[in-house]
Structure 1
């Protein structure tokens, strides 16, 4: 998978509300009502990530979820990261 240039990433990330690009990865965070909701969303993301064979770097503290995406094999951001980011956005949107 081809690593995207900084310019390509900056152009693409404009379509992803709340996502930023720094340190070779794209990042976002979400806040939920409680731990149960955060963990439920993480579980849904985990199943989708497994299907895509692409796994996020993430952290969870109580109701906060922080996600970073990069493609380790490419040593940077690729199309795979934006595909998973879109999936994550769809899951978040579906949870209301």
Structure 2
């Protein structure tokens, strides 16, 4: 099982993750896509990354706004797995 990160570790990681915010319970980023279909394509791309990592985010889609929420449920908080997936999501967003 992955180790839960402390608040200081999460804060330090978030400083390097543009657009992300959160705390020990989870980290989150919302993105406004150019169109609904672009948002769906982004979700599909993130789904492929998540499946490969065996680490699945909560995803909320509201028209063109897609919100990703990351937390390692089995560990009870934010772990390095969440930080790594957030980095990959940022790379997709550009």
Shorter-chain TM-score: which interval? over 0.9
Give the match for residue 13 of structure 2.
Answer: 12
Give the match for residue 24 of structure 1.
Answer: 25
Q: Secondary structure at the match of 1:10?
A: helix
TM-score (norm 2): 0.95
Give the match for residue 34 of structure 1.
Answer: 35
Compute the displacement of 1:23 (Å): 6.2
Compute the displacement of 1:6 (Å): 0.7
Cα distance between partner residues in 2 of 1:77 and 1:23: 6
Cα distance between partner residues in 2 of 1:5 and 1:68: 18
> Structure 2 regions of 5+ residues with no counterpart?
none
Tell me which protein shows more helix as a share of its residues.
1
Q: Secondary structure at the match of 2:30?
A: strand
